[in-house]
Amino acid sequence: MASAARPARSLAAQERRFALALLAPALAVLLLTTTAPLVYLGWTSLMRLDLAMPYLSGFAGLDNYVKMGSDPRFWNSLALTGIYTASTVVLQVVIGLTLALLVLQIPRGQALLRIAAILPIVLAPVVVGLFWRTLVLAPDFGLVDLVTRSLGLGSHNWLGDPQLALISVIAIHTWQWTPFAFLVLLASLATLPPDVYEAARLDRASAWQRFVHITLPLLRPAIVMVVILRMMTALSAFAAIFAATGGGPGSATEILNLYAYRTSFTELNLGYGSSLAVVLLAITLAISFVMFRLRRAR
Amino acid sequence: MPRTLWRRLALAAVAGVGVAVWVFPVLWGLLTSFKTERDVLAYPPVWLFKPTLDNYREVIFGASSIVPNLWSSFVLATATTLLTMLIAVPAAYALGRLRFPAKRMSGFYVLVTQMLPPVGLIIPYYLVLQKLGALDTYGGLTVIYLTFALPFAIWLMVTYFEDIPLEMEEAALLDRAGRLRTLWYVILPQVRGGIAVTTIFVFLNAWNEFMFAVVLGGNRVRPVTVAMFNFISVEQTQWAKVAAGAMLAMLPVIIIGLFAQRHIVKGLTVGAVKGGGRR
């Protein structure tokens, strides 16, 4: 009996050693490439670090964070981040779900739609931003202006007017990433058990009742997952906005991500930029923890 | 009967609009890339025009050729993909199939590193690479590319490792095949498909990256995404040429995307499926 337990234990020890040997390189690389830089970021956020005025560099304590409180551009970027994230995520889920529900009823041609949906997803966001800026949203010759002009709605400066610019960048993001929500929701809709619907139909439940009481609850995990992933993408959105408006006009489309970037690499104020990045990091982590709790709740 | 016919037509119309909205801007770009600059600015737009290859000639052979940038992108994406797969596959096997202490914690740590906002990483990288004189080098950019490629690849590979039946490696182990040999000869052949898909995704993400490259790259290392951006900053009005450049830059990812179409959903949802440490 004892002799049987010993090889079992050594087998477990052997498995443990093997696992650690396989995992160690990955953990070491991640520690070195992600965690260590973030610790350094925390340090630089406490520094006065202005490449335009290097002679003033030095430890500044919490100055950068205090400065944020009275920085209208920071509060503006925070509000824009909220608007941008909330509106793009809601639009993607609503449009994606609606489209998925409709497409599910089409007997043929689903494959064509799935292929079309892949197209925006694989494109580089920076190219998407450039594309929209030149071919879609440019005044007079862009696709959207061609449509509005032919409808008699006139020509607009889609990226030059502050309010229109915000709507435009939201539209660009929604265009590129709605296919994601659509594909995931379509895939999970296809796995729902048909017998539940059959029972509901026998009970004379209306289409709307079936949607609210059966489809939505069953789809909840998939929807929560889509919301989590879409929020993460929206919070770190950069290239498409950068290419389409550069954060402008003024700071009309300057979400926190862009503000941190511009502060660090256009105005070369890396200390303040670091503290802005730390705030973004804290927001991202907080939201992901809340969302994962929500996901595990049921 | 007529009611279902109407229903079908309406559904087809909705689907048609969906396809058009996603495909049309890209088709429009393709069309534009074959126009002369004068035809681009014609109003109303011309549908029948004499196609020209001048734009492509210009972006391939001209003074502002993007061929060196395509090469830059290729080198960066390939280096990132190779390194990532080399590190990620063993780690994913451990996380997916072996028992060891702190497994849940390790998995969660990998997941968290996947969510870090890139702007938070780029500032310390800029400072450190500048000190090391490693700005504008393939090495520097490859290292920072690992920050998004590695966590993603590990989690995607874990889902593939979990799909293979446990009995396979148990049988091999009972034959005293040794752990490493079992992994190499029994397990890895089972996840060949997963390795292919993961490789494709890592390559695609590295090819499309922009923010790290625009800050940490330069004259030597300038991937095609950055080149596209500079192109338009300098030559605002040459839309046909921009369109041709964009088409060339995106051709690889479009081909890969269509090719790997079926696996894309799985790849995109990675992390959240297992998220929150169900294990």
- Cβ neighbours of B93 in A, within 8 Å: 22
The minimum CA-CA distance between A155 and chain B, rounded to whole Å, is: 13
- The kind and range of the H/E element at A59 are strand A58-59
Q: What would be the CATH architecture of the domain defined by B66-278?
A: Orthogonal Bundle (1.10)
Q: Measured between CB atoms, does A132 come within 8 Å of chain B?
A: yes
Provide, as residue numbers in chain B, all residues whose Cβ is less than 8 Å from the Cβ of A138: 239
Contact residues for A188 (Cβ-Cβ < 8 A; gap 6+) = A219, A221, A222
Q: Are A175 and B21 in contact (CB under 8 A)?
A: yes
Please indicate if any CB of chain B lies within 8 Å of the CB of A120: yes
Sign of the alpha-carbon dihedral angle for A285, A288, A293, A294? positive
Residue B253 to residue A124, Cβ atoms within 8 A: yes
Whether B269 and A229 lie within 8 Å, measured CB to CB: yes
How much is the pLDDT for B275? 39
CA nearest to A166, candidates A283, A248, A82: A248
- Residues 6+ positions from B196 with CB-CB distance below 8 Å: none
Contact assessment for residue A28 and residue B107, using Cβ atoms and an 8 Å cutoff: no
Strand partners, A50: A269
Contact A77, A203 (CB under 8 A): no
- Residue A125 preceded by cis peptide, ω within 30: no
Between chains, do A30 and B151 touch, taking CB under 8 Å as contact? Answer: yes
- Furthest-apart CA pair in chain B: how many Å? 76
Number of H helices, E strands in chain B: 15, 0
Chain B contact set for A134 (CB, 8 A):
232, 239, 242-243
Which residues of chain B are within 8 Å of residue A15 when distances are taken between CB atoms? 98-100, 179
Higher pLDDT, B166 or B127: B127
CB–CB contact A122 B98 (8 Å): no
User: Is A259's Cβ below 8 Å from some Cβ in B?
Assistant: no
Phi first, then psi, for residue B47 (nearest 5°) are -95, -35
Give yes or no for residue B278 having a pLDDT over 60.
no
Residue B2: pLDDT band with limits 50, 70, 90: low
Q: One-letter amino acid identity for B126?
A: Y
Q: Does A106 touch chain B (CB under 8 A)?
A: yes
pLDDT one-digit tens code per residue, A20-49? 999 999 999 999 999 999 999 999 999 988
Give the pLDDT of residue A1. Answer: 42
Which pLDDT score is estimated for B277? 33
Is residue A132 within 8 A of residue B242, CB to CB? The reply is no
- Can you tell me whether residue B119 is helix, strand or coil? helix
A273–B106 CB contact, under 8 Å:
no
Query: What's chain B's average pLDDT?
Result: 85
> Which tokens in the block code for residue A278?
């730390």
When mean pLDDT is compared across A275-279, B179-183, B217-221, the lowest value belongs to B179-183
Q: Where are the domains of chain B?
A: 66-278
CA-based end-to-end distance of chain B: 52
> A123 and B275 in contact by Cβ < 8 A?
no
pLDDT at B231 over 50: yes
pLDDT 10s digits, B43-61:
677 777 888 888 899 889 9
Q: Phi and psi at residue B218, in whole multiples of 5°?
A: -175, -140
> Stretch B37-42: mean pLDDT, rounded?
78
* Residue of A97, A66, A104 whose CA lies nearest to A275: A66
Q: Bin A255: left if φ > 0, else alpha if -120 < ψ < 50, else beta.
A: beta
Query: How far, CA to CA in Å, does A217 sit from each of A49, A161, A192, A208?
Result: 51, 41, 11, 13
Residues A84 and A255: beta-carbon distance below 8 Å: yes
Q: What is residue A92's predicted lDDT score, i.e. its pLDDT?
A: 96
Higher pLDDT, B173 or A159: A159
- DSSP bridge partners of A58: A48
| pLDDT one digit per residue (tens) for chain A, 298 residues | 444 455 666 778 888 899 999 999 999 999 999 999 999 999 999 998 888 888 888 888 898 999 999 999 999 999 999 999 999 999 999 999 998 888 888 767 777 888 888 889 899 999 999 888 887 887 777 778 878 888 878 778 888 888 899 999 999 999 999 998 998 888 888 878 888 888 888 888 788 888 888 888 888 888 888 888 889 889 989 999 999 898 889 889 999 999 999 999 999 999 999 999 999 999 999 988 887 777 666 5
User: Quick one: how far is CA A127 from the chain centroid?
Assistant: 17
List A48's β-bridge partners, or say none: A58
In chain B, which residues have their Cβ closer than 8 Å to the Cβ of A117? 18, 22
Q: Identify which of B22, B94, B246 has the shortest CB distance to residue A22.
A: B94
Give every CB contact of residue B194 below 8 A, 6+ residues apart in sequence: B156, B157, B159, B160, B161, B163
Q: How far apart are CA B246 and CA B59, in angstroms?
A: 10
Q: Which residues of A touch B276 (CB under 8 A)?
A: 292-293, 295-296
Contact B269/B197 with Cβ under 8 angstroms?
Answer: no
- Say what the pLDDT of residue A8 is: 63
Q: Which amino acid is at B106?
A: S
- Measured in angstroms, the CA of A163 and the nearest CA of chain B are apart by 23
Cα distance between residue A189 and residue A117, in whole Å:
17
Contact A277, A41 (CB under 8 A): yes
Measure in Å the smallest separation between the Cα of B56 and chain A Cα atoms: 17
Chain B residues close to A25, C-beta within 8 Å = 87, 90-91
Q: pTM for this one?
A: 0.89
Tokens 């981040």 found at:
A81
Q: State residue B42's pLDDT score.
A: 73
Max CA pair span of chain A: 89
What is d(CA A15, CA B96) in angstroms, rounded to the nearest whole number? 13
| Interchain CB contact of A147 with B (< 8 Å) | no
Asked if the peptide bond before residue A25 counts as cis, ω within 30 degrees of 0, the response is no
